[in-house]
A = this chain, B = another copy of it.
Amino acid sequence: MFESLATLLADAASQIVREGYDALGDVEGKADGSPVTAIDRAVELRLRDLVAEHAPDHGFIGEEFPPSHPEAEHVWIVDPVDGTRPFIAGMPTFGVLIALRHRQRGMVLGVVDQPLLRQRWVGVDGQGCTRNGEPVHVRPCASLGEAFASTSGPLAHSRALWPRMECVHKAAGRLIYGGECLAWGLLAQGRIDLVVDAGLQLYDVAGPLVVLREAGATVTDWSGRPLGGEFDGTVLAAGDARVHAEALELIQRGHVVNRP
């Protein structure tokens, strides 16, 4: 199951991110305007090297560079620093996201790592989810009105969908903003109950998906479909299926805004 390689990758990434946190290097603009740092790239290059060294037949898909061997039986899918924006701002809500995809079995391993907090959530297919090595699980929550929800906030990449998200937020018992990828871990360990987000890419959700699935969460897109094939960038993830059902109904009949 390549858990030891996943640990090696996560350790290497986490260390580079921690070392770079205070002395943040060049911040360039990407074509889409999102910020990207030298650290992003350093992490991805290091992880590519490690995979090439320890599992030369594995493929690698990252955010910063073109894929290598994406047709391989095993492919690592990595977002070196998910949440570059909070990372640049110094907010410890960013994270390193790592997933391992098997050609037939789909996503079989996922890691969400927060370097500054030194917290790591790992999901392994059929073996459950751990946080820093200890088993964790989502918590029960009977209704959306009792749920603690997390959202990124009305950011540019998802602003058009914000009114639909807000239907859910307003119905949730409590809400935090800016949870970013830390929210996946908090949901997996039963500290919060619901994450609603949009505008995501495959590498933003591949690792968290396994973590959440193995922790017992219900995870779909906003149409109620499992994440996979044609991913539309929307995610609705709940620790309790009752909360998921309630949120799904709200978000589906929510005010739909025409995309510009």
A178-B177, A178-B179 known; A89 vs B148 contact (CB < 8 Å):
yes
Contact indicator A89/B178 (Cβ below 8 Å): no
Report the interface size class on chain A: 20 to 34
> When the two chains form their complex, are residues B174 and A177 in contact, meaning their CB atoms are under 8 A apart?
no
- Whether A145 sits at the interface, judged by CB under 8 Å, is no
Given A35-B174, A85-B176, A177-B177, does the pair A90, B152 have CB atoms closer than 8 Å?
A: no
Minimum distance in angstroms from A29 CB to a CB of chain B: 11
With an 8 A cutoff between CB atoms, is A103 at the interface? no
Proximity string of chain A (116-150) to chain B, C-beta cutoff 8 Å, 1 when within and 0 when not: 11000000000000000000000000000000101
Q: Report yes or no: A178 in contact with B153, Cβ–Cβ below 8 A.
A: yes
Which 6 A-B residue pairs are closest in the complex by CB-CB distance?
A: A178-B178, A153-B177, A177-B178, A177-B177, A90-B191, A90-B186
Q: Select A178's contact among B93, B117, B191, beta carbons within 8 Å.
A: B93
Subset of 29 A-B contacts with CB under 8 Å? A35-B174, A88-B148, A88-B174, A89-B150, A89-B176, A89-B179, A89-B186, A89-B191, A89-B192, A90-B189, A91-B93, A91-B176, A91-B178, A91-B182, A92-B92, A92-B93, A92-B116, A92-B117, A93-B93, A116-B117, A117-B117, A152-B177, A153-B153, A153-B175, A153-B178, A154-B154, A155-B175, A176-B178, A177-B177
**Contact present for A86 and B176 (CB under 8 Å):** yes
- Write out the residue numbers on chain B whose beta carbons fall within 8 Å of the beta carbon of A93: 91-93, 178
Q: What is the minimal beta-carbon distance from A136 to any residue of chain B, in angstroms?
A: 11
Partner among B154, B155, B186 whose Cβ is within 8 Å of the Cβ of A91 = B186
CA distance A89 to B153 in the complex (A): 16
Option from B85, B90, B150 in Cβ contact (under 8 Å) with A174 = B85
Min CB distance A242 to B, Å, is 20
Interface residues in A171-218 by Cβ distance below 8 A to B read 174-179, 182, 186, 189, 191-192
Instruction: Select the residue from A88, A91, A93 with max chain B CB neighbours within 10 A.
Output: A91
Please measure, in the bound complex, the distance between the C-alpha atom of A23 and the C-alpha atom of B207, giving whole angstroms: 26
Complex: chain B residue closest to A169, CB-CB: B154
On whether the beta carbons of B90 and A192 are closer than 8 Å, the reply is yes
Residues in B neighbouring A148, C-beta threshold 8 A:
88-89
Cα separation A117 to B118 with both chains bound (whole Å): 9
| Distance of A192 Cα from B24 Cα, bound (Å) | 13
> What chain B residues lie within 8 Å of A153 (beta carbons)?
153, 175, 177-178
Task: Indicate the member of A92, A153, A177 with the most B CB atoms within 10 Å.
Answer: A177
